[in-house]
Amino acid sequence: MILYFSGTGNTKFVAEYIAEHIGDECVSLNDILKYKLPLRFNSVKPFVIAAPIYASCYPTIIMKLIRKAEFTGSDKIYFLTTMGAGTGAFEVPLEKIADEKDMAYMGACGVPMPNNYIAGSDLPSADEAESKIKAALPLMKELSEHILAGEMIEKYDRGTSYFVAKLGNVIFEKFFMSSSGYRVSANCVSCGKCEEGCPVNNVKLSPAGVPHFDHYCIGCYACINRCPMNAINIGKKTENRNRYVCPEYSDWKKRGLID
């Protein structure tokens, strides 16, 4: 069973690729969070957790979810991530969690995908993103083969020390993970995609149809990147930046881009 969390679709794409190549099912942790579904998972096949890197670690909300969740059936657990540049030291606490849960840690690996961190820099164009995803397909295939064969997987990048990664992550989550600076421009057409796409129900349309942001933002940037009118911005700094949403895996299959 592949359990994935994804703000802008990269991790969903990787999860769906691997699910199809190993003949397993995919479960969306976005839905589990959004609809507050039970954290009980049963699978005879190994569990594969997949989530993006946020400031060198898995998002804290996903770490908490994995800690709380009950996994029955298989006692094997793999961890995957997607990231714009590097995996940090995301595997260090995950190995400990597997141990706490009496599960066999089967390794962790990151798949480099297009960057969605719009607060930091401009995002790739559609062509640049497509090239990066194409370049990641062989690694998705390799990971699928290892998981199917029941083999351990290994990170290919060196990452940073866990201390440095965690320190950066704590500072990031305390000072930068907030929707308080989000502004909605007159381009908003009240389509509700921001509300729909928010995995933690932090965005609600007012009766007049204007998005309102609460205080539970987890910084996934789904609302900003999925807005078809580019109407949500962080102050002025993102006004001229590209938006990024990963293409659907099913569309790539139809286009014959997947082996």
Ligand X SMILES: Cc1cc2nc3c(=O)[nH]c(=O)nc-3n(C[C@H](O)[C@H](O)[C@H](O)COP(=O)(O)O)c2cc1C
Question: Of 52-60, 147-155, 204-212, 227-235, which segment contacts ligand X by CB under 6 A?
Answer: 52-60
Closest to ligand X by CB, 10 vs 179, is 10
Site string for ligand X, 223-242 (x = CB under 6 A): --------------------
Tell me: does residue 46 bind ligand X (CB under 6 A).
no
Question: Of 33-41, 80-88, 90-98, 230-238, which segment contacts ligand X by CB under 6 A?
Answer: 80-88
Give the integer Cα–Cα distance in Å for 245 and 86. Answer: 19
Closest to ligand X by CB, 7 vs 46, is 7
Give the integer Cα–Cα distance in Å for 102 and 66. Answer: 13
- Interacting residue with ligand X among 3, 26, 53, 66 (CB under 6 A): 53
Tell me: does residue 217 bind ligand X (CB under 6 A).
no
Tell me: does residue 197 bind ligand X (CB under 6 A).
no
Q: Is the dihedral of CA 108, 7, 131, 256 positive or negative?
A: positive
Tell me: does residue 179 bind ligand X (CB under 6 A).
no
- Interacting residue with ligand X among 7, 107, 124, 199 (CB under 6 A): 7
Give the integer Cα–Cα distance in Å for 219 and 195. Answer: 14
Helices 91-100/162-175 angle, 10° precision: 100
By CB under 6 A, how many residues form the interface with ligand X?
25
Question: Of 66-74, 156-164, 214-222, 230-238, which segment contacts ligand X by CB under 6 A?
Answer: 214-222
Tell me: does residue 246 bind ligand X (CB under 6 A).
yes
* Least Å from the CB of residue 159 to ligand X: 10
Give the integer Cα–Cα distance in Å for 76 and 153. Answer: 12
Site string for ligand X, 15-44 (x = CB under 6 A): ------------------------------
Tell me: does residue 124 bind ligand X (CB under 6 A).
no
Tell me: does residue 11 bind ligand X (CB under 6 A).
yes
CB neighbours of residue 20 within 10 Å:
15
With a CB cutoff of 8 Å and minimum separation 6, the contacts of 196 are none
**Binding residues for ligand X (CB under 6 A):** 6-11, 52-56, 82-86, 88, 113, 115-117, 219-221, 246
